[in-house]
Amino acid sequence: MSLLLTSVFRPFGVDDAYGRKENKCELFHNQVTREQGIYSVRYNHRSFGLYFIAENLRMPTVVLDFPTLRQFRKELRKGYDYVGISFITPNFIKAKKMAEVVREVSPSTQIILGGHGTRIPDIEKLIDCDYVLPGEGISALRELFGEDIDAPIHHPVVKASEHKRVLGLPFGTGGAVLVPGVGCPNACAFCCTSHFFDKTYTPFLKTGEEIYETACRCGDALNSREFFVMDENFLKHKERAVELLKLLEKNKKKFSFSIFSSAEAITDFGVENMLKMGINYVWLGVESKRAIFEKTQGIDVKKLMTRLRQNGIMVLASSILFLDHHTKETIWEDIDFAIDLRPDFTQFMQLGPLPQTPVYLSYKAKGWLREEIPYEEWHGQHKIWFDHPHFTRDESEVYLRKAFQREFKTLGPSIVRIADTMLNGLESPLYQKDNPALRVQFERLRERCRIYFYALTGFKWLAMNRKMRKQTDDVIRRYEGYFGKRKLLHYLAGAGMALIGNLYRLKLKLGFEAHNPPRFRVSYRMMPRYEELCEKARTLLQNRRTWAILEPSTEGWALSLHFSGKINRKTVNALFKRLNDQVHRPIQSVRINVTALAEFSEETLTAFLERISHFCREIRIYCSELHQEKITQFLEKAQLNCAYSVVAV
Ligand code: B12
Ligand code: SF4
């Protein structure tokens, strides 16, 4: 039995039959720095859920992340019993297409749908499938495959924020992802994650110690000390966070964490503790000036954000536009409110009534939902898909764009803002306290600032207007005040960056916009040594006009050998040695094609087959009709340890 777990297919971020150009597979360039041109921070995240599921099943599994449709078809031909397709609402049509491809290429394979898209009403009727499993996927699939639902969860090692680039240049390493848990009990009316996971929090890492050990393991495996923590409200679980902090302090770890947390949880945990822990970036849901959601009630968000930034912690403020109360005037109050917080990054998202959230259900009941709009357009970065009392769909596109543009024009490039914030950290009195954990973090921050110092001159020379040049210059002055005047190397680095930045600007102008992640294929429990063997055997044997390939088939692993020209004892001995060294588990079948063999001796072939019959359950020989009888006869005499057949082709 085997399972193929796949994300939907590439390309993303282009207008085609399956997607829209606004729907990029890049977190920042899609919905945060999207109007910042060459300064936009570009990177990709993998489909983390797939790796979590694969790591925690017993079923042999392959994860295929971001394949093209052609790569997906090719993978399917390897023969899987199940295919799990993970998709979100705007990728509905891609999931549908993939299900059709499964039925066409591999009709016996059962289709499982998972991920946020499964909340689309009547999804089982809209997509031809065998199972729809909404919610947390590890337990759902363990149950489906009759595995132990309560078995412990093992956190996979997965990179986060890959292919990070600014100005088209590599920009830092992304580090590892940590997913302490999924879901959130707060159940804000618009929030599909909370409702997708049935308004509960499911921890994958229950204690601070588990997080600590996982961070050490994943960090070591990826040679990184940076972690992107994918948890809706990481600091909300204060006891766990405090335990983690104690372990980090005790072991003097120079880790840094990027987290999502609510204002109330941050206030409760405290900025000093955040610094000790190495939290250098926080995603904070501000949503609206009117504290209409519980998480911001009674908190002075501006004061909190200023305090975070003054102490070197970068902040992303997330704001929702086209809420019920927004008119053409009040929407600017909210946009300006977010800008006035002076965050390092700002996300503006259109209110998105996504399936099964209270907002969706109430808009549907009121008849506001524009259900005729295809799901590809339900993503929040182009036009709203409901009737707003004060905005048309076209206006929603314009207001959203203007919000991002105003933010960029007022605050300048995020990349320069974060340089400013980090320097605040170096000057913060909190870091000067006599505390070993703070010392460790201070050193880490100083290293980063030094690197940023080299980049600032380039940013200044690339500035689009006088205001931006002045903003960058002010930050440079502050850096010079701290590190001393710029040296020749700073100017040389600046000149190089300015040149590259201008070329990149030209490239963007010419329309090279989309930045798709590559395909990833990771196999779990699929006897990886066999795959390795296949590659090696092929290389080894090609010289001798012989090749070997190992493939999964519906019954198990199949080794195909193709002999051509002449084979002699030396050739087969080398082949057998290679196989014997590498294969430690039985292969279901060995298929040997001898149709192209010009010359072979009975003795050589028999010796080879006898030996190979010890590690497979079946040998199938494909030969010409002329040789069928002869080969059958000598096989009858051979001492084979498995079943065999001779097929004339
Ligand atoms: C990382 C992320 C991204 C990344 C990369 C995603 C990727 N590689 O596909 C980026 C930044 C590129 C991204 C982009 C977008 N995203 Co996004 N993203 C997320 C985020 C923050 C985390 C997802 C994650 O990894 N979670 C951790 C893992 C462990 O959980 P999980 O993925 O949910 O997987 C679990 C279950 O869903 C389930 N499961 C998942 N797959 C499968 C498969 C099977 C077979 C089964 C049985 C179960 C199963 O089991 C898993 C383990 O429990 C979520 C919000 C969130 N907090 O979850 C939004 C979220 C998934 N994104 C969302 C949206 C809307 C988008 C965008 C459209 C944004 C936009 N406005 O343009 C784009 C779409 C890009 C595209 N073209 O596909 C929505 C989806 C809404 C919906 N109802 O469909 C979410 C929920 C955010 C939100 N609250 O609105 N996103
Ligand atoms: S607090 Fe955040 S994650 Fe939790 S329900 Fe509200 S918006 Fe969703």
Over residues 273-291, the pLDDT tens digits come to: 999 999 999 999 887 777 5
What is the mean predicted confidence (pLDDT) over 479-489? 97
**Considering only CA atoms, which residue is closest to atom 20 of ligand 1?**
230
pLDDT of residue 586: 57
Whether 78 is covered by a domain: the verdict is yes
For a substitution probing ligand 2, which of 295, 296, 318, 347 has the most ligand atoms within 8 Å of its CB? 295
Asked if the model's pLDDT at residue 42 lies above 90, the reply is yes
Which of residues 411, 435, 461 is at a domain's end? Answer: 411
pLDDT of residue 298: 74
What is the mean predicted confidence (pLDDT) over 169-193? 91
The closest of 212, 187, 484 to 361, measured between CA atoms, is 187
Whether 431 is covered by a domain: the verdict is no
**Considering only CA atoms, which residue is closest to atom 2 of ligand 2?**
232
Report the SS3 class of residue 546.
strand
Q: Are residue 244 and residue 384 in the same domain, yes or no?
A: yes
Which DSSP letter does residue 386 get?
B
What is the mean predicted confidence (pLDDT) over 583-595? 74
CB atoms within 10 A of CB 96: 22
Categorize the per-residue pLDDT at 540 as very low, low, confident or very high, splitting at 50, 70 and 90.
very low
CB atoms within 10 A of CB 24: 25
Please calculate the CA angle 390-391-397 and round it to the nearest 5 degrees.
Answer: 160
Nearest ligand to the CA of 54 is 1
Q: What is the mean pLDDT of the chain?
A: 90
Compute the radius of gyration of the chain from its Cα atoms.
Answer: 29
**384-428 per-position pLDDT tens digit:** 999 999 999 999 999 999 999 999 999 999 999 999 999 999 999
Q: Are residue 118 and residue 181 in the same domain, yes or no?
A: no
Q: Are residue 15 and residue 121 in the same domain, yes or no?
A: yes
Q: How far is the CA of 227 from the centre of ligand 2 (A)?
A: 21
**Considering only CA atoms, which residue is closest to atom 29 of ligand 1?**
49
What is the mean predicted confidence (pLDDT) over 359-366? 97
Q: Are residue 297 and residue 386 in the same domain, yes or no?
A: yes
pLDDT of residue 287: 78
Whether 420 is covered by a domain: the verdict is no
pTM of the model: 0.83
Asked if the model's pLDDT at residue 576 lies above 80, the reply is no
- E strand or H helix at 616: strand 616-623
Asked if the model's pLDDT at residue 529 lies above 90, the reply is no
Distance CA 250, CA 236 (A): 22
Report whether residue 640 contacts ligand 2, using a CB cutoff of 6 Å: no
pLDDT of residue 52: 97
Helix, strand, coil percentages for the chain (3-state, nearest 5): 45, 20, 35
Report whether residue 219 contacts ligand 1, using a CB cutoff of 6 Å: no
Peptide bond into 11 cis (omega under 30): yes
pLDDT of residue 14: 92
Distance CA 336, CA 519 (A): 40
pLDDT of residue 21: 92
Q: How far is the CA of 56 from the centre of ligand 1 (A)?
A: 19
Angle subtended by helix axes 69-76 and 92-105, to nearest 10:
40
Q: How far is the CA of 91 from the centre of ligand 1 (A)?
A: 11
Q: How far is the CA of 261 from the centre of ligand 2 (A)?
A: 9
Asked if the model's pLDDT at residue 528 lies above 50, the reply is no
Of the candidate ranges 92-101, 145-154, 506-515, 582-591, the one whose mean pLDDT is the lowest: 582-591
CATH number at residue 353: 3.80.30.20
CB atoms within 10 A of CB 303: 11
Whether 104 is covered by a domain: the verdict is yes
Tell me the CA end-to-end span of the chain in Å, nearest whole number: 29
**432-476 per-position pLDDT tens digit:** 888 888 998 899 999 999 999 999 999 999 999 999 999 999 999
pLDDT of residue 594: 85
Which of residues 378, 411, 444 is at a domain's end? Answer: 411
Distance CA 283, CA 422 (A): 16
Q: State percent of the chain over pLDDT 70.
A: 93
Nearest ligand to the CA of 233 is 2
Q: How far is the CA of 175 from the centre of ligand 2 (A)?
A: 25
| Side chain identity at residue 292, one-letter code | I
Q: Which residue has the higher pLDDT, 510 or 369?
A: 369
DSSP assignment string, 39-55: G--EEE---HHHHHHHH
Distance CA 71, CA 75 (A): 6
Asked if the model's pLDDT at residue 483 lies above 90, the reply is yes
Q: Are residue 128 and residue 181 in the same domain, yes or no?
A: no
Q: Are 166 and 415 in contact (CB under 8 A)?
A: yes
Which of residues 411, 440, 459 is at a domain's end? Answer: 411
pLDDT of residue 20: 94
Q: For 202, how many CA atoms within 13 A lie in the half-sphere containing its CB?
A: 17
Q: Are residue 48 and residue 116 in the same domain, yes or no?
A: yes
**Considering only CA atoms, which residue is closest to atom 1 of ligand 2?**
186
Asked if the model's pLDDT at residue 534 lies above 60, the reply is no
| Side chain identity at residue 649, one-letter code | V
CATH number at residue 566: 3.30.750.24
Q: Write the CB contacts of 623 (distance below 8 Å, at least 6 apart in sequence).
A: 593, 594, 595, 631, 646, 647, 648, 649
Q: Are 305 and 315 in contact (CB under 8 A)?
A: yes
Whether 345 is covered by a domain: the verdict is yes
Q: Which residue has the higher pLDDT, 342 or 552?
A: 342
Q: Which residue has the higher pLDDT, 579 or 382?
A: 382
Q: Which residue has the higher pLDDT, 279 or 551?
A: 279
Whether 427 is covered by a domain: the verdict is no
How do 279-287 and 256-260 pair as beta strands?
parallel
DSSP assignment string, 416-443: HHHHHHHHHHHH-GGGGSS-HHHHHHHH
What is the mean predicted confidence (pLDDT) over 122-141? 98
Whether 187 is covered by a domain: the verdict is yes
- What stretches of 448-586 adopt beta strand conformation (E)? 520-524, 546-553, 556-566
What is the mean predicted confidence (pLDDT) over 373-377? 97
pLDDT of residue 530: 46
Asked if the model's pLDDT at residue 117 lies above 80, the reply is yes
Report whether residue 285 contacts ligand 2, using a CB cutoff of 6 Å: yes
Report the SS3 class of residue 193.
helix
Q: Are residue 141 and residue 187 in the same domain, yes or no?
A: no
- E strand or H helix at 473: helix 466-483
CATH number at residue 18: 3.40.50.280
Report whether residue 264 contacts ligand 2, using a CB cutoff of 6 Å: no
The closest of 312, 345, 293, 352 to 36, measured between CA atoms, is 345
What is the mean predicted confidence (pLDDT) over 113-121? 98
Q: Are residue 192 and residue 88 in the same domain, yes or no?
A: no
pLDDT of residue 538: 47
Q: Are residue 179 and residue 137 in the same domain, yes or no?
A: no
**600-612 per-position pLDDT tens digit:** 788 888 888 888 8
pLDDT of residue 147: 93
Q: Are residue 184 and residue 126 in the same domain, yes or no?
A: no
Enumerate the H helices of 13-89 as residue ranges.
Answer: 27-31, 48-55, 69-76
Asked if the model's pLDDT at residue 575 lies above 80, the reply is no
Residues shown for the chain = 649
What is the mean predicted confidence (pLDDT) over 375-386? 97
pLDDT of residue 585: 53
Whether 622 is covered by a domain: the verdict is yes
Q: Are residue 111 and residue 78 in the same domain, yes or no?
A: yes
Report whether residue 116 contacts ligand 1, using a CB cutoff of 6 Å: yes
476: left (phi over 0), alpha (psi -120 to 50) or beta: alpha
Report whether residue 233 contacts ligand 1, using a CB cutoff of 6 Å: no
Q: Are residue 131 and residue 243 in the same domain, yes or no?
A: no
pLDDT of residue 549: 67
Q: Are 628 and 617 in contact (CB under 8 A)?
A: no
Categorize the per-residue pLDDT at 296 as very low, low, confident or very high, splitting at 50, 70 and 90.
low
Total number of domains constituting the chain? 3
Report whether residue 49 contacts ligand 1, using a CB cutoff of 6 Å: yes
Q: Which domain holds residue 88?
A: 3-153
